[in-house]
Amino acid sequence: MTPPAHDSVRAVAWDDGALRLLDQRALPQRVDYLRCTGAPAVARAIHDMAVRGAPAIGIAAAYGVALAARARYAAAPATWKQAIETDLALLLDARPTAVNLRWAVERMRAKIGALAGDPGEALLNEARAIHEADVAANRRMGELGAALIEPGSGVLTHCNTGALATGGYGTALGVIRAAYAAGKITQVYAGETRPWLQGARLTAWELAQEGMPVTLIADSAAAYLMAQGKVRWVIVGADRIAGNGDTANKIGTYSLALAARRHGVKFMVVAPLATLDTNISSGREIPIEQRPAGEILTLNGQPVAAPFATAWNPSFDITPADLIDAWVNETGVVFQPAPAKIRALAG
């Protein structure tokens, strides 16, 4: 099968008995890879944001479970299922907001419960299945989302939702890839995404690697850009979607949704069904990760704030469902997501 256009980047890969992760902290200055041979290394890579993006985190965690099972079974075949619970807890604690992480670990736990004998091959195959399904879902979402975009559009995206954040191709950036390949997009605008600069470091790098036009803007310039008529769609991913359609995504997404509504710009969330958490009724119940204050107060280790200043540093915010025009997932498009529509989809 010929790979889709503009699709060459891969951040997560199983390689010769270990998990290979593109270290996204080093981009764009260096292209470095981490080789993880056990669950602690995978959990550390997730926590430290060497791997990031909800789907990629889930996939990495699934491979982490496979690595943990291999080690636990080799050490104590009779008690490995009890011992691996420590590794599962370690992986689950690495990042609390992204529901894909818990979804992937729980799927692997269910597989563990059905196994007898050496679990290595079965759990590796399960992790690979999660990985392959993510790529297939992303390509399908790319098709569905691209169909909504008018020819000649400029689009704005936030954070990084491409191959770097997923198993491959991307969610929101997958839609942008597909729409650009179809000749519908004339310009992609990327917000810088303070304080980790995922838009500046990762999205701009990824689009440049694929030969797609990208213009970087300061996060605070987005509303003014919309006022100039440069943007027809804001296209973002999601780390968790509540039962009523409220959506958690990288901090700054809510501001974009408010500005989009004010300026008549459409707002699209692109995320697989695994991102939906029907156990919670609204965004108020989504746990929001608080990151270290130093991420705001310093840049590359150098102070940028006045001495003795403090910082509030939530990693995510909540966009209310009534500000979302379309949620694109692998099964279709939910327009104006609302509880009844989501219940029907989940049911």
- Write out the residue limits of the CATH 3.40.50.10470 domain(s) in the chain: 143-346
User: pLDDT value at position 6?
Assistant: 66
Condensed to tens digits (0 to 9), the pLDDT of residues 7-66 reads 778 899 999 999 999 999 999 999 999 999 999 999 999 999 999 988 899 999 999 999
Instruction: Provide DSSP, 267-299.
Output: EEEE--GGGEETT-SSGGGS--PBPPTHHHHEE
Q: Which segments of the chain have a pLDDT < 50?
A: 1-3
Beta pairing class for 247-250 and 240-242: antiparallel
Q: How buried is 272 (Cβ within 10 angstroms: 0-12 exposed, 13-18 middle, 19+ buried)?
A: buried
User: pLDDT value at position 4?
Assistant: 55
Q: Which residues contact 25 (CB under 8 A, 6 or more apart)?
A: 48, 49, 50
User: pLDDT value at position 193?
Assistant: 97
Of 314, 253, 313, 257, the closest CA to residue 287 belongs to 314
Of 137, 130, 139, 134, the closest CA to residue 3 belongs to 139
Neighbouring CB atoms inside 10 A of 34's CB total 19
Length of the chain: 347
User: pLDDT value at position 63?
Assistant: 98
Domain 143-346 coded CATH 3.40.50.10470:
yes
The backbone torsions φ and ψ at residue 236, rounded to the nearest 5 degrees and listed phi first, read -130, 165
User: pLDDT value at position 3?
Assistant: 46
Fold of 12-137: Four Helix Bundle (Hemerythrin (Met), subunit A) (1.20.120)
Q: At 202, list the tokens.
A: 């990762």
User: pLDDT value at position 5?
Assistant: 58
Query: CA–CA separation, 83 vs 72, rounded Å?
Result: 7
Point out the residues that are catalytic: 239
- Write out the residue limits of the CATH 1.20.120.420 domain(s) in the chain: 12-137
